[in-house]
A = this chain, B = another copy of it.
Amino acid sequence: MATIKDVAKKAGVSTATVSRVVNNGPKVGDKTRARVLAIMAQLGYHPNENARALVTKKSQSLGVVIPDLTDPFFASLANGVDKIARQNNMQLLLSTGSISEESERQAISFLLERRCESIVVHSKKLSDQEIIEFANKIPGLVLIDRFIQEIADKCIWLDNEEGGKIAARHLLSLGHKQLACISSRYQIDDPALRFKGFKNELTESGLSLLAHHFVEDEPNLQGGEVATQKLLASDTKFDAIFVYNDAMAIGAISTLEDNGFKVPLDVSVIGFDDVLLSRYSRPKLTTLHYPIEEMAEFAAQLALGKIAAPATEQGNGHKYIPRLVKRESTSLKT
């Protein structure tokens, strides 16, 4: 693989001159530039980014840390970051690590070792403390889908609680009174917040949630099916379900119909996230849109320092509100 020296020698100039040509530097004569360019092409020269990064202390890369790529939600996140990377002619460094606290730490360390100065991090396992430490070490680190007071202006997050409220308001406005919930069995913040908001809104309307109308399971299609069976087994009526995410909601609808319930005629179902799936299901799913790609793009810009970090409104960081997407799985109580 040809180096800058090879090019310099063959062109009869110094490496400095070649470097200037490569970087479109200013002080180089036209004929020289042409000659060097020709030789570069001839030799198939590609500058060594590692050497460059070493001396300039800039890595020309944009990092992103997510649990894994198979989940379309995270794929969208990564895609948002990638979009910004491409816009800025930077290389995307993707680090996956979810299974454990240790692997999240590893994922960030990997990027640190490559001196990646702008990183969008999605982390659920690392402690607030450790994230704050990383953030102090890396000025261009931003945190997505999580809020930590101490680094508020580096946090891009969704107001899950408000999402729960919006779902509740929607179902109430359709005249439903006997509500049920299907949640994720994993004790992370997201489900807790969503259902907190949901319940609070019910309370405000003088309604409440029966204990056996709140069930939990795996946050996927099967989990939704199992959870719905539990709900049906409890033998008390419900006319609407707020489900933790779209995959579970689709599982729920499937089980409901297998048991003779029409959606939305007999039971309205509302999901959360608005993943691709929700537009492919029948009936098409009413859900809350989680603008993850948009958030990821914003996060990436912020990490790159492209955004004059706007005074964060009352120390809330950069908060997004989910938007109700009415489709076919909810309807007026009949």
By a beta-carbon cutoff of 8 Å, the part of chain A in contact with chain B is 1, 44, 46-51, 53-54, 59, 68-70, 72, 75-76, 78-79, 82, 86, 91-96, 109-110, 112-115, 137, 221, 247, 250, 254, 257, 276-277, 279-282
- Chain B residue contacts of A72, Cβ below 8 A: 72, 75, 276
Other A-B pairs beyond A48-B113, A72-B276, A221-B280, 4, CB < 8 Å: A46-B109, A46-B113, A49-B115, A70-B79
Measured CB to CB, the closest approach of chain B to A37, in angstroms, equals 16
Bound Cα distance A50, B70 (Å): 29
Of chain B, the residue at the smallest CB distance from A99 is B86
Measured CB to CB, the closest approach of chain B to A120, in angstroms, equals 14
**In contact, B82 and A91 (Cβ under 8 angstroms):** no
- Chain B residue contacts of A282, Cβ below 8 A: 254, 257, 281-282
**Given A69-B79, A70-B79, A92-B94, residue A50 in contact with residue B59 (CB < 8 A):** yes
Bound Cα distance A282, B256 (Å): 13
Of chain B, the residue at the smallest CB distance from A278 is B280
**In contact, A92 and B96 (Cβ under 8 angstroms):** yes
Of chain B, the residue at the smallest CB distance from A56 is B50
**In contact, A48 and B79 (Cβ under 8 angstroms):** no
**In contact, B70 and A75 (Cβ under 8 angstroms):** yes
- Chain B residue contacts of A92, Cβ below 8 A: 93-96
Bound Cα distance A78, B69 (Å): 7
Bound Cα distance A47, B282 (Å): 53
Measured CB to CB, the closest approach of chain B to A216, in angstroms, equals 21
- Chain B residue contacts of A281, Cβ below 8 A: 280-282
Bound Cα distance A82, B152 (Å): 31
**Given A91-B95, A221-B279, A250-B280, residue A76 in contact with residue B70 (CB < 8 A):** yes
**In contact, B75 and A69 (Cβ under 8 angstroms):** yes
Of chain B, the residue at the smallest CB distance from A63 is B91
**In contact, B48 and A137 (Cβ under 8 angstroms):** no
Of chain B, the residue at the smallest CB distance from A279 is B221
- Chain B residue contacts of A48, Cβ below 8 A: 54, 113, 115
**In contact, A91 and B110 (Cβ under 8 angstroms):** yes
Bound Cα distance A281, B112 (Å): 42
Bound Cα distance A114, B1 (Å): 12
**In contact, A54 and B50 (Cβ under 8 angstroms):** yes
Instruction: Tell me which of A53, A247, A279 has the highest count of chain B C-beta atoms within 10 A of its own C-beta.
Output: A53
- Chain B residue contacts of A70, Cβ below 8 A: 75-76, 79
- Chain B residue contacts of A86, Cβ below 8 A: 96
- Chain B residue contacts of A59, Cβ below 8 A: 50
Measured CB to CB, the closest approach of chain B to A112, in angstroms, equals 5
**In contact, B279 and A44 (Cβ under 8 angstroms):** no
**In contact, A50 and B47 (Cβ under 8 angstroms):** no
Bound Cα distance A78, B79 (Å): 12
- Chain B residue contacts of A82, Cβ below 8 A: 68-69, 94, 96
**In contact, B94 and A49 (Cβ under 8 angstroms):** no
Bound Cα distance A47, B113 (Å): 6
